[in-house]
């Protein structure tokens, strides 16, 4: 009982002093002595300990503060579907005729076919080039029929383009040799 009473009395006596402590701590004094020495203190000097000294109260300005920067939550990482992860780059390949094929005697007619991987999108087209020149317009189909090719070697390439003409992929070149009959007079 005695400890309880002592603790209560102590708390009542210290409470007013504690509430004044921050105010006393916030006051700063600048003491300049006769030799121009400067001392800053939080205790007010008395006449006995600071003879022939100049005492000034230093008014402290409010402490600079800034609101904390708001931390944005981390954006979730994009998750790819299995289709998006495994999607191959667009490509095109001539499947027939094979490279170095000879087109036998005849009028120079032969078929060309290609494979597009992945399949063509709605806005994509295939264009056949023979010796760098387009054979017909770009089309959705992957097969062509060449008629009347001249005798000699020809390089075939299929180009995968968008409807605006941008090239998406180009096949490897395939060389064909066309043999046509000729009449040699002796």
Q: Is residue 74 part of a domain?
A: no
Among 58-72, 95-109, 120-134, the least confident range? 58-72
Kindly tell me the sign of the dihedral angle through the C-alpha atoms of 9, 13, 14, 16: positive
- For residue 13, the model assigns a pLDDT of 46
167 and 93 share a domain?
yes
Residue 149 lies in a domain: yes
Tens of pLDDT along 126-183? 999 999 999 989 999 999 999 988 889 999 999 999 988 899 999 999 999 998 776 7
Q: Are residues 97 and 50 in the same domain?
A: no
Q: Which two tokens stand for residue 103?
A: 């087109």
- Is the pTM higher than 0.85? no
Is 3 inside a domain boundary?
A: no
Is the confidence at residue 56, as pLDDT, over 80? yes
* Whole-number pLDDT of residue 38: 86
Specify the number of domains making up the chain. Answer: 2
Range of the domain at 29: 23-58
11-53, pLDDT tens digit by residue? 444 444 444 444 445 688 888 887 778 888 888 777 665 557 7
Q: Are residues 92 and 174 in the same domain?
A: yes
Residues 103 and 160 in one domain: yes
Same domain, 171 and 124: yes
Q: Which of 142, 131, 134 is nearest to 93 (CA)?
A: 142
In a domain, 98, yes or no: yes
Q: Are residues 106 and 34 in the same domain?
A: no
Strands (E), 47-138: 54-58, 91-96, 101-103, 110-117, 124-130, 133-134
- Are residue 92 and residue 169 in the same domain, yes or no? yes
Q: Does residue 116 carry a pLDDT above 90?
A: yes
Residues 97 and 171 in one domain: yes
Judge if 35 and 103 occupy the same domain: no
What pLDDT, on a 0 to 100 scale, did the predictor assign at position 47? 63
Give pLDDT, residue 66: 83
6 within some domain: no
If you write DSSP's letter for every residue of 13-40 in order, what string do you get?
Answer: HHHHHHHHHHHHHT-EEEEE-TT--EEE
Question: Both 94 and 51 in a single domain?
Answer: no
Are 110 and 149 contained in the same domain? yes
């Amino acid at each position: 009982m005695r400890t309880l009473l002592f603790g209560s009395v102590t708390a009542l006596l210290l409470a007013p002093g504690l509430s004044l402590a921050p105010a006393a701590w916030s006051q700063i004094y600048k003491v300049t002595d006769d030799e121009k020495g400067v001392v800053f203190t939080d205790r007010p000097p008395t006449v006995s300990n600071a003879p022939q000294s100049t005492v000034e109260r230093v008014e402290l300005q409010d402490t600079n503060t800034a609101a904390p920067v708001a931390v944005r939550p981390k954006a979730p990482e994009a998750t790819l579907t299995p289709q998006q992860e495994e999607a191959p780059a667009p490509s095109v390949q001539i499947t027939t005729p094979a490279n170095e094929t000879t087109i036998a005697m005849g009028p120079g007619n032969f078929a060309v076919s290609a494979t597009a991987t992945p399949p063509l999108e709605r806005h994509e087209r295939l264009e056949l080039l023979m010796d760098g020149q387009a054979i017909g317009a770009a089309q959705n189909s992957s097969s062509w029929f060449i008629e009347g090719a001249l005798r000699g070697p020809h390089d075939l390439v299929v180009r995968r383009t968008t409807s605006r003409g941008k090239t998406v992929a180009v096949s490897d070149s395939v060389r064909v040799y066309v043999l046509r009959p000729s009449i040699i007079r002796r």
